[in-house]
Structure 1
Amino acid sequence: MKALRFTCPIAFLLFLCLTAIRAAPEGSLITSIPGFTGRLPSEHRAGYVSIDGKPAGKKFLFYYFVASQRNASEDPIVLWLNGGPGCSSFDGFVYEHGPFNFQAGQSKGSLPKLQLNPFSWSKVSSVLYLDSPCGVGLSYSDNPKNYVTGDFQTASDTHLFLLKWFKLYPEFLSNPFYISGESYAGVYVPTLASAVVEGIESGQKPLINFKGYLVGNGVTDEYFDGNAIVPFAFGMGLISNDIFEACQKTCKGKYYIPRSPTCSNNINRVYEALSGLNPYNILESCYQYPSSTEEGKKLEGLNSTFIKISGRRWSVRPLGRDGRVPLTPQAASTFHVPCINDDLATEWLNDEAVRKAIHAAPASVAGQWIICSRRVEYSSEVDTLIPYHKNLTSQGYRALIYSGDHDRVVPFTGTQAWTRSMGYKIIEEWRSWLSNEQVAGFLQAYDKNLTFLTIKGAGHMVPQYKPMESFDFYHRWLDGKPI
């Protein structure tokens, strides 16, 4: 009997281990990464999931999966999506909360060196980084027509990716699953979450154990987001009393769509005052690429219009005709996002040895990696995401809406206003929250599992500017502990 008691658990564990090995896609395991010396802190897997394209061909969506360093068999799995639209989720991987970050002081021309990130989100959860939509980052298609997409197609494609991914990795089906992202992922996340919930309700297999979502500095609603910039600029001391009062008088509180020539002129005064600031974080310097003077003027011009209020929605970038979003690189004739230095990521992800190690297609197939895509033709199709948030939270799904409070692309004031507009009962009045025994920001919690949280001194990409504080609120919220 004693021998039986001893061998059964061992045999059972061996069975589980072999099952997991068989379940994981062959060739997806990453054993080493050029630029990083040492042992990987947890299991890493990467590769492509293919889905049918429209009207023809295949879409090959690239993922990088980082297993939790704590307890991968039980910890949540969190999907991460960068915004844009059209920006690669490797931005989050190497600059925000991935297992590595770049060593400081590296010069251009050699393979960048990586070091472990002490505040990686994979310390307490598994993180699934996805380059979406097709054509972004390392994702590609065998038919260029598949680079034409929009809000609904992107949600549908990503949902199909998830169903296929969980079929490849069935050992993770019981893990709690969350969807997260920042910036234009304020559209990606709730539309995808809604598609996932509809799939669950219809009994679609495999059944995803979806629990909730997180959105950082996410575009949400044209009225609230677009209306927030002028009051934000005034509150941060970026415009004078005279400019603010002129805007109030001529725009009558509606700044996102100038209603008169005088209102429009005053809004232009606001943007003239903001010119030259880093739109992603008003506390940080604006990196200027040392190219030609003419190219610098193009970037400067884009920087001032990148957040200019459009006639239709939000303050991220103006829309073209038919709701089409001109992606940053297309508008600037360059792939550099204003004020952002992406040289190290660009060199690292375009190194063929790196691509081979992470099972990504070579540049001859998938194209050169750039931080925000030039080949995706994207249409904005959803004017407000508030109904999506109401529907999801009313069904009991958890939601954390967080904002770096020094971002002028999607100011926290607009996000605070739209979360309040949901009309939910306040269960925790506005209060500070702590990280390392210091005030790290403020939060207000509502019923229906909705929390709004700010991070003091952070910009648009919160974990990039405040990694320790981001890790603190992330793991507390994910573990269901008070923030």
Structure 2
Amino acid sequence: MASTFKILASTFLLLFLAPTFLHAVVETLPGFPAKLPFKLHTGYIGVGESQEIQLFYYFIESEKSPETDPLLLWLTGGPGCSGLSAFFFEIGPLTINYANSTGDIPDLELNPYAWTKVANIIFVDQPVGTGYSYSETSDAYNTNDTLSAQHTYSFLVQWLLDHPTFLNNPLYVAGDSYSGITVPLVVRNIYDGLESGIEPRLNMKGYIEGNPLTHRFSDTNNRVVYGYRMGFLSDNLYKSTKESCNGNYIDALPHNSACQYDLQRVTKCTEKINMPQILEPACNPEILLSLDGENLPQQWCRDDNYLFAYSWANNKIVQKALGVREGTMTEWLRCNHTLSGPPEAERSETYVFNVKNTVDYHRSFTNKSCRVLIYSGDHDMIVPHVSTEKWIESLKVGVEDDWRPWFVEDQVAGYTMKYSQKEYELTYATVKGAGHTAPEYKPRECLPMIQRWLSIYPL
């Protein structure tokens, strides 16, 4: 209760502070050969007790009906992965033309499967230290899950105050990967604000999570289960490991020699698997890549694609076009690894992982008027779909539509279930062949998925 009161009091304070908005309408971008055929706004919004934290965002109006289409607040995972990563590589209106890109400013092209075709989307660089977001004080870079969510909620309230024409649009909080931790926290803040009568009244409808980290222990532990189901482990090895480790593959006791032996065998079978997408080649972190063609590996690696984003986003001409404030950062990073860490860690260099499990948050939303979409790439071993399905089942919500395939162009695109309870409903979907995260690997399938769900149609 004290924490909630602090969040609400901070939000009330923000409403009376002089806002430090800086917004730009971007009509052209370096690398794109014409005027942008969609409306792009970028800018900063100050949050924190004295607005010392400046969160950068990209806002794209829906290409269909911006006045009535849903508004999505998109939180890229990490923590510390820039909204520009989701913009270019997942659901944004532009992507990089890899075949024709060289030099400092890669060529950009339209993404035919952009979610902005059906929704207004705010991509925000959060928490502070992500992308182009920065702080005016060094102490503010030290943050955690709950504080980051509070700042994101404050950002959203202030953004809507500055864009009141979108107040009536259906609002969804969305994100993927590590945002499985932060999205439920932001949703909780929104519901608390609504119950407390905070203005403006947000037209909250629900939330969307893709390949979501939800339970830091369980999601990691279930990689062994997933490996077995995908054929990486034999029946005998899996059964032996499950018995000797008692189903705990993460915190195995050092003196349990049988478990340690089995885990060594499991590691030998899985350590060379590319966890983000089990069918793609694993990247070699020891190979330094360069855009001039030197030292490139013989085999293509998906990480090669990300090099173009670094080149584009760190170009001063690009930053000027986006309205990035000079002198506020040294280098744009797709993912700031000083904010991230291994699943078993308690903290990174500047970020404390103080929320380990958000299942209870999801459970608390089942008694509200709330629509939820959870999707998983079924070839993702970072957050295995088997783990996601397990916590969804633990919510104990009745099944409205049992397990069945869903289709795109008469082909199976994945499998889906729908749960409902009074005014609460949850749609779960796998995306066949997709990795971590699904829209990057299967954009053609994911656009119809989100379009149908937002339109309240069955997948």
TM-score, normalised to structure 1's length? 0.82
Q: Which residue of 2 aligns with 1:403?
A: 376
The answer for the alignment partner of 1:310 in structure 2 is none
- Aligned residue runs from structure 1 range 140-151, under 5 A: 140-151=134-145
CA contact (8 A) 2:101 2:107 kept: no
Instruction: Find the partner of 1:439 among 386, 393, 412.
Output: 412
Q: SS at the partner of 1:443?
A: strand
For 1:306, the equivalent position in structure 2 comes to: none
Q: For residues 174-204 of structure 1, give each alpha carbon's deviation from its aligned partner in whole angstroms, at most 9, with x where no partner exists.
A: 0011011111000011011000111111111
Report 1:13-52 matches (<5 A).
Answer: 27-52=23-48
1:348 aligns with 2:344: no
- Who is 2:329 aligned against? 366
Mapped partners of 2:376, 2:382: distance in 1: 11
Per-residue CA deviations over 1:421-466 (Å, capped at 9, x if unaligned) read 1111111110000011100000111113011110000001110100
AA partner of residue 449 (structure 1): E
Matched positions, count: 413
CA pair 480-243 structure 1, distance change in 2 beyond 3 A: same
Displacement of 1:290 in angstroms is 6.9
* Structure 2 letter corresponding to 1:119: Y
Q: CA offset at residue 254 of structure 1?
A: 2.6
Bigger CA drift: 133-142 or 36-45? Answer: 36-45
Counting only pairs closer than 5 Å after superposition, residues 158-307 of structure 1 correspond to structure 2 as 158-259=152-253, 260-288=256-284, 291=287
SS in 1 for 2:53: strand
Q: Which amino acid aligns with 1:86?
A: G
Moved more, 56-65 or 451-460: 56-65
TM-score normalized with structure 2 length: 0.86
Q: In the alignment, is the contact (CA less than 8 A) between 1:287 and 1:340 conserved in 2?
A: no
The one-letter amino acid paired with 1:383 is K
Structure 1 residues without counterparts, runs of 5 or longer: 1-24, 294-336
Partners in 1 of 2:91 and 2:385 — Cα distance? 21
Report how far residue 277 of structure 1 moved. Answer: 2.0
Shift of 1:374: 4.1
Partner residue in 1 for 2:458: 482
Verify the 8 A CA contact 1:393 1:399 in the aligned structure 2: no
The residue that corresponds to 1:327 in the other structure is none
Alignment of structure 1 residues 41-120 onto 2, 5 Å: 41-52=37-48, 58-106=52-100, 108-120=102-114
Report how far residue 356 of structure 1 moved: 1.1
Which residues in structure 2 correspond to 1:126-137 (within 5 Å)?
A: 126-137=120-131
Q: Distance in 1 between matches of 2:430 and 2:338?
A: 34
Report which stretch shifted further, 74-83 or 249-258.
Answer: 249-258
For residues 33 and 428 of structure 1, the distance between their equivalents in structure 2, rounded to whole angstroms, comes to 45
Which string of whole-angstrom CA distances, capped at 9 and with x for unpartnered residues, describes residues 286-305 of structure 1?
Answer: 23367469xxxxxxxxxxxx
Gapped regions of structure 2 (runs ≥ 5): 1-20, 290-300, 340-349
Q: Matches of 2:34 and 2:192 in 1, distance apart?
A: 43
Cα distance change, pair 137–477 in 1 and its aligned pair in 2 (3 A) = same
| C-alpha RMSD of matched pairs (Å) | 2.0
- Partner SS state of residue 283, structure 1: coil
Q: Is the 8 A contact 2:216 2:356 kept in 1?
A: yes
Three-state SS of the structure 1 residue aligned to 2:98 is coil
Distance in 2, Cα, partners of 1:179 & 1:265: 44
Relative distance call for 1:389 and 1:368 in structure 2 (3 A) is same
Quote the Cα distance in structure 2 between the aligned partners of 1:36 and 1:30.
Answer: 12
* Pair 130,440 (structure 1): closer, same or farther in 2 beyond 3 Å: same
CA distance in 2 between counterparts of 1:189 and 1:125 reads: 18
* CA shift in 2, pair 1:27/1:185, >3 Å: closer
Matched, 1:452 2:428: yes
> Does the aligned pair in 1 maintain the 2:376–2:437 contact within 8 Å?
no
Measured at CA, do residues 269 and 290 of structure 1 come closer, stay the same or move farther in structure 2, by a change above 3 Å? closer
2:440 corresponds to: 464
Structure-2 separation of matches of 1:62 and 1:133: 10
Counterpart amino acid of residue 458 in structure 2: P
Q: Does 1:419 align with 2:382?
A: no
Q: Take 1:277 and 1:391, find their aligned partners in 2: how far apart are those partners? A: 36
Partners of 1:84 and 1:266 in 2: CA distance: 31
Runs of 4+ aligned residues of structure 1 deviating over 3 Å after TM superposition are: 287-293, 337-341
Q: Distance in 2 between matches of 1:346 and 1:339?
A: 11
Counterparts in 2 of 1:472 and 1:348: CA distance versus 1, 3 Å: same
Counterpart of 1:463 in 2: which secondary structure? Answer: helix
Distance in 1 between residues matched to 2:330 and 2:201, nearest whole Å: 34
- SS of 2:414's equivalent in the other structure is strand
The separation in 1 between residues aligned to 2:258 and 2:135, in whole angstroms, is: 47
